[in-house]
Amino acid sequence: MATTKTLPAHPQVSVIIPARNEEASLADCLQSLTTQSGIAFEIIVVDDHSTDRTRQIAESFPSVQVIAAAPLPAGWTGKNNAVTTGARHARGEWLLFTDADTVHLPGSLARALTEAQQNGADLLSYSPEQIAVTFWEMATLPVVFAELARQYSPSKVSDPASPIAAANGQYILIRRETYDAVGGHAAIAVDILEDVALARAVKTSGRKIRFRYAADAVRTRMYRNYRQLRDGWTKNLALLFPNPGWLAVKILTLWLLPWATLLLFAANPRHWWWSALGALAFARNSGRLRRANFDLAMEFLGALFGMPMFAYLLLRSKRAHANGSVAWKGRTYDPKESPVNKFTNHTPTPAGRLS
C-alpha cells in the first residue's frame, strides 16, 4: 500500500537533490535533511535515470518527494537537466540545490536562510567540510581546495564590487525570484561547471552573492575511490583555472624545490644550508595549503604527494577538454559545445518561472 506523503502548505525552502546512482550516500543525506527544524521546507529527490537502489532509498523516506528526471535534451548536462526538473516541481520561496553526498548539520537549513536574509544575499553558497578517507583523497584535496581558495577568494566572491563569481554546487541556496530572473539552470544547460555559471549569472545581474567555508553547516565526501577522484577533477579543473598547464608547471616546480636542495645537501653534507633551505621550502609548501581548511597531517601529505597529483590532474583535465571528451557518471560531454566557461563573460537570458 502506497504511503501518502504530507507536504508543507507553504514551504519557505524547496530542497532539490539530483541523484544518479547515489545509493552509497543518499540515505545519510536524507536523514540529515528530513530532521531539520525551525523552518517549513520540502525535499525533492530527482532520480536521474539511476540503475542502482537510489530511487528505492529516496522513497523509503515518507516526507520526501521522488520524481524522475526528464529525458536528457541534446546538449544538456545530466545535472542541469535534473535540477531543472526539480525546480519545476518546487513550491518554496527559496531553492536549495544540494548533492546526494552531503550531510547537513542539525538546524543548518534554518540558519542558512537567516544568514542569507540578514546579509541581503540572493544566493548563498557554502563550501562544505571535506571528508577524506583514502590516501589519495587525503593527499590531493588539500592542494585542490587551497588553489581554489586562492583563485576564488570567498571575500572577493562575496564583494559586489569584485567581478569574481563562484559557488559550490554541493550547497546553493537561491531566492526563487532570482533563480527565475536569471533563467535558472535552463540558461546554462550546456555548462559542465554549472555552479560557477549560475553564480556568474546572478552576479552579472546585479544581485548579491555570499560564499564561505561552512564546516558548521554541511560536510561531504565527494569521491569514494581513486577513479572517482580522478574523473571528477578531470571534468572540472580545466574550467576552474584559467591556465591549467602553467599552474601545473608552477606546482611541480614548487614541489621539486625541497627535493632538489636535499639532493644538493646529500651530494655535499658540509654545505648544511642546503638542508635548511630544503626544510624551509617544504614548510612553505605546507603553509601554502593552510587555507584549504584541513589538518596538519593532510597538509603534510599534500605537500609530499598531493602537489604532483594535482599537477597531473590539471594536465589530464586540460587534455580531456582540448579533445572535446569529458566523461562523468556514464555520460560523455563535449566541453566545446558550451558557449561559455568560467573565463568568458556571460549575460543570462531571462526565462520566466520554471514551474
Q: What is the CA angle 139-144-145, rounded to 5?
A: 105
Mean pLDDT value across residues 211-236: 96
Residues 85 and 191 in one domain: yes
Look up the pTM and report it.
0.89
Phi-psi group of 52: left, alpha or beta (phi > 0 → left; psi -120 to 50 → alpha; rest → beta): beta
211 and 79 fall within a common domain: yes
Identify whether residues 248 and 333 lie together within a single domain.
yes
- The DSSP-derived string for 40-87 is -EEEEEEE-S-SSSHHHHHHTSTTEEEEEPPP--TT--HHHHHHHHHH
Number of separate domains in the chain: 2
Residue 8 pLDDT exceeds 80? no
- Clarify whether residues 183 and 267 are in a common domain: no
Percentage of the chain beyond pLDDT 70 is 87
Q: Is 9 helix (H, G, I), strand (E, B) or coil?
A: coil
Q: Is the pLDDT of residue 92 over 50?
A: yes
> What SS3 class is residue 123?
strand
Residues 32 and 96 in one domain: yes
Quote the pLDDT of residue 268. 74
Give 291's pLDDT tier (boundaries 50, 70, 90).
confident
- Greater confidence (336 vs 170) lies with 170
308 pLDDT more than 60: yes
Q: Which domain holds residue 257?
A: 240-337
* 205 found inside a domain: yes
Q: Which CATH number goes with the domain that contains 173?
A: 3.90.550.10
Residue 24 C-alpha cell reads as: 552509497
Shared domain for 56 and 83, answered yes or no, is yes
pLDDT over threshold 80, residue 276? no
Residue 280 C-alpha cell reads as 624551509
When the pLDDT of each residue in the chain is averaged and rounded to a whole number, the result is: 89
How many CB atoms sit inside 10 A of residue 177's CB? 12
Q: What is residue 352's predicted lDDT score, i.e. its pLDDT?
A: 31
Query: Is the CB of residue 100 less than 8 Å from the CB of residue 21?
Result: no
Q: Summarize the confidence of residues 252-269 as an average pLDDT.
A: 78
Q: Which residues in 177-248 belong to E strands, given as ranges? A: 209-213, 218-220
Helices 307-323, 244-267: inter-axial angle, 10-degree rounding: 150
Task: Give the residue with greater pLDDT, 287 vs 167.
Answer: 167
Q: pLDDT digit string (tens) for 153-195?
A: 999 999 999 999 999 999 999 999 999 999 999 999 999 999 9
Of residues 9 and 318, which shows the higher confidence score?
318
